């Protein structure tokens, strides 16, 4: 059912999102869904409550997918959720395997409760293909079941949006509309110059593995020597627990970002980001609050396994976005995407600017395709900064269009991106 906006009566005070507490707009629910390969994922649902004012997209489900090394906090650090609830959206915030509430510890708890074995890749052995082939299908099927709708709206930030590029092309019958925020479709531009050089250091990883193995062997030998010495002196107690071998299994993104959070207090935030202008492509201190950024660094970061990092490095080296297990090429699938789409990015974002998103813009078959740079924004603040209301209005407008135009029309000619342009 399409809920249309009500025209206010003359003289009636118009309610704004700032007038209503977040708790009055929704009912929060925790959902668990099991993937085909055995992971239990958690979806946080923000179910909208009916309001006396117009809610033009009431009850329509939107799947929100976070980016690299993030969790649900990417969407709740600012007012993104509140603004979308104000319009009546039914929000489902997925946390990918190993992130947030979909943690490794949850898998071990569920295994103990059921008597089943934990997922086979639980020891940091998953990659981006795991997110694409297992996590997204399980989440979308569950949302379709719970909401009673055949198709859902997909909204992803950064890596989450890149997964959406692929899923919308592979499963167009399940997606009602596609929104990506700060999500490149090509690895080009200034932002990927340094990352490109780092991605070519992958031949050094075996040397790192060898070094860690040697260090672990030395540590284990010292531990055994200490035990022999204790036994020789009549002390039967072991010198602490047996040390575990060191392996490069994951990038400790959570610790690194929490360390950065401790270095940035309210007084240092602006000075540090301005003293290091190269950070401007990640966050613009003029477009978000220091307290919000610090909270996101502290609460919104998670580790990423080695496989995810290596797959990203391969993507960057080859400028390709491919599911290697199935052979599916995301870029070749762009032409199959005909649903209304929006590609939103900051004009200061070196990772997902005009050049890095152009291939999707020209490759997709959508009649409605918004390609919008948000002035003054970088990579992080698009889901939490001062311009979040503009971003949410773009999403609301896309959903209203999708609901009103179910039939697809021939694609229109493309133009360069500009504020408010739709094709």
Span 15-59, pLDDT tens digits: 899 999 999 999 999 999 999 999 999 999 999 999 999 999 999
Mean pLDDT computed over 128-138: 98
**Predicted confidence (pLDDT) at residue 70 exceeds the cutoff of 70:** yes
Q: Tell me the per-residue pLDDT of 198-223, one tens digit each, with 9 for 90 and over.
A: 555 556 555 545 454 465 456 556 65
Q: Give the chain's mean pLDDT.
A: 84
Chain center to CA of 92: 13
* pLDDT-based confidence at residue 255 (cuts at 50, 70, 90): confident
**Predicted confidence (pLDDT) at residue 91 exceeds the cutoff of 60:** yes
**Predicted confidence (pLDDT) at residue 417 exceeds the cutoff of 90:** no
**Predicted confidence (pLDDT) at residue 196 exceeds the cutoff of 70:** no
- Of 118-122, 313-317, 320-324, which range is least confident? 313-317
pLDDT at 259: 80
Instruction: Answer yes or no: are the C-beta atoms of 17 and 79 closer than 8 Å.
Output: yes
**Predicted confidence (pLDDT) at residue 262 exceeds the cutoff of 70:** yes
* pLDDT-based confidence at residue 236 (cuts at 50, 70, 90): low
336: Cα within 13 Å, side-chain hemisphere? 18
pLDDT at 275: 57
| More confident: 410 or 245 | 245
Cα-based angle 194, 296, 249 (whole degrees, multiple of 5): 55
**Predicted confidence (pLDDT) at residue 326 exceeds the cutoff of 70:** yes
Kind of pairing between the strands at 175-181 and 341-346: parallel
pLDDT at 77: 92
Kind of pairing between the strands at 90-94 and 61-65: parallel
pLDDT at 406: 72
Measure the CA–CA gap between 249 and 209, rounded to whole angstroms.
10
**Predicted confidence (pLDDT) at residue 6 exceeds the cutoff of 50:** no
Q: Tell me the per-residue pLDDT of 335-356, one tens digit each, with 9 for 90 and over.
A: 999 999 999 999 989 889 999 9
* pLDDT-based confidence at residue 261 (cuts at 50, 70, 90): confident
* pLDDT-based confidence at residue 10 (cuts at 50, 70, 90): very low
**Predicted confidence (pLDDT) at residue 133 exceeds the cutoff of 80:** yes
pLDDT at 110: 96
Mean pLDDT computed over 252-257: 86
Domains of the chain: 17-188+321-404 (3.40.50.1820)
Place of tokens 């307290």: 291
43: Cα within 13 Å, side-chain hemisphere? 26
pLDDT at 245: 57
């Amino acid at each position: 059912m399409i809920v249309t906006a009500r025209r206010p009566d003359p003289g009636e005070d118009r309610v704004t999102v700032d007038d209503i507490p977040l708790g009055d707009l929704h009912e929060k629910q925790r959902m668990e869904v099991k993937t085909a390969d055995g992971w239990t994922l958690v979806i946080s649902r923000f179910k909208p409550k009916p309001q006396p004012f117009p809610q033009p997209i009431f009850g329509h489900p939107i799947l929100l997918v976070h980016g690299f090394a993030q969790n649900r906090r990417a969407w709740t650090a600012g007012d993104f959720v509140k603004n979308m609830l104000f319009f009546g959206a039914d929000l489902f915030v997925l946390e990918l395997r190993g992130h947030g509430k979909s943690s490794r510890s949850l898998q071990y708890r569920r295994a103990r409760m059921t008597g089943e074995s934990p997922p086979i890749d639980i020891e940091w052995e998953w990659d981006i293909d795991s997110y694409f082939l297992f996590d997204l299908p399980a989440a979308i099927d569950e949302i379709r079941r719970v909401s009673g709708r055949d198709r859902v709206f997909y909204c992803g930030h950064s890596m989450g949006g890149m997964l959406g590029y692929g899923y919308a092309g592979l499963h167009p019958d399940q997606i009602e509309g596609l929104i990506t925020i700060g999500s490149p479709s090509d690895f080009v531009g200034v932002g990927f110059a340094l990352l490109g050089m780092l991605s070519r250091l992958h031949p050094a990883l075996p040397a790192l593995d060898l070094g860690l193995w040697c260090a672990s062997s030395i540590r284990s030998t010292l531990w055994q020597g200490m035990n022999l010495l204790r036994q020789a002196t009549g002390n039967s107690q072991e010198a602490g627990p047996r040390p575990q071998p060191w392996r490069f299994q994951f990038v400790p993104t959570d610790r690194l970002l929490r360390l950065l959070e401790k270095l940035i207090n309210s007084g240092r935030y602006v000075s540090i980001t301005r003293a290091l202008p190269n950070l401007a492509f990640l966050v613009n201190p003029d477009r978000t609050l220091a307290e919000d950024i610090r909270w996101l660094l502290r609460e919104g970061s998670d580790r990423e396994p080695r496989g995810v990092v290596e797959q990203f490095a391969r993507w960057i080296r080859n400028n390709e976005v491919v599911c290697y297990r199935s052979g599916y090429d995301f870029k070749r699938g762009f032409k199959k995407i005909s649903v209304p789409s929006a590609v939103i990015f900051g004009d200061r974002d070196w990772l997902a600017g005009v050049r890095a998103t152009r291939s999707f813009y020209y490759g997709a078959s959508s009649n409605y395709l918004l390609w919008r740079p948000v002035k003054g924004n970088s990579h992080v603040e698009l889901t939490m900064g001062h311009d979040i209301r503009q971003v949410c209005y773009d999403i609301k407008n896309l959903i209203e269009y999708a609901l009103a135009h179910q039939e697809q029309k021939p694609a229109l000619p493309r133009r360069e991106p500009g504020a408010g342009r739709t094709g």
